[in-house]
């Protein structure tokens, strides 16, 4: 009895086992990288326990939707704002400015007020509101 063995060359390579291995390695890599990055450790400065007893004036500058400026509720121009802030700084060098920009105003107008405060070397802060309030 003669056994006929026909050996056919392979036309294609079965890549399914190789893809299975690649997917397993990918899953292991993803799990290991997400497990090692739980969060960032940030060293925050600790506040002093002494409350500040110093009182310094606070000027509130509002930028209205049409670009108009208001200083503590009084309408002013950019030149008037500069002179009033210079006068307030002359009275108390540690005075500060809170800038309230309306959400509908052009951002350039708020930036011009920030630039003015930087020019006068006045400490300032931007007033923000929570969304939905």
DSSP symbol at 104: T
How far apart are alpha carbons 27 and 19 in whole angstroms?
12
Structural domains of the chain, ranges and CATH numbers in brackets: 58-126 (3.30.420.270)
What residues contact 32, with CB distance under 8 A and at least 6 apart? none
The average pLDDT across 14-33 equals: 89
From CA 43, how far away is CA 25, in angstroms rounded? 35
Using DSSP's 3-state secondary structure scheme, residue 56 falls into coil
* Residue 111 confidence class, pLDDT cut points 50, 70, 90: confident
- The CA distance from 117 to 81, in Å, is 10
Choose between 85 and 128: higher pLDDT.
Answer: 85
Helix (H) or strand (E) holding 19: helix 16-36
User: pTM, whole model, 2 decimals?
Assistant: 0.55
Nearest to 114 by CA among 74, 87, 78: 78
Please tell me the predicted confidence (pLDDT) of residue 121. 85
- Region 68-84: mean pLDDT is 86
- Would you say 77 and 69 are in contact if contact means Cβ atoms under 8 Å apart? yes
Share of the chain above pLDDT 70, in %: 78
- Residue-wise pLDDT tens digits, 57-69: 788 888 888 888 8
């Amino acid at each position: 009895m003669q056994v006929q063995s026909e050996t056919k060359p392979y036309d294609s390579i079965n890549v399914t086992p190789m893809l299975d291995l690649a997917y397993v390695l990918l899953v292991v890599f993803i799990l290991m990288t997400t497990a090692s990055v739980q969060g960032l450790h940030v060293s925050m400065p600790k506040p002093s326990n002494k409350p500040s007893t110093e009182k310094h004036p606070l000027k509130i500058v509002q930028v209205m939707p049409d670009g108009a400026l208001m200083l503590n509720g009084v309408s002013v121009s950019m030149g008037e704002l500069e002179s009033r802030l210079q006068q307030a700084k002359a009275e108390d060098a540690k005075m500060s400015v809170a800038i309230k920009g309306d959400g509908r105003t052009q951002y350039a107008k708020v930036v011009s007020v920030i630039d003015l405060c930087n020019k006068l070397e006045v400490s300032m802060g931007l007033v923000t509101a929570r969304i939905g309030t």
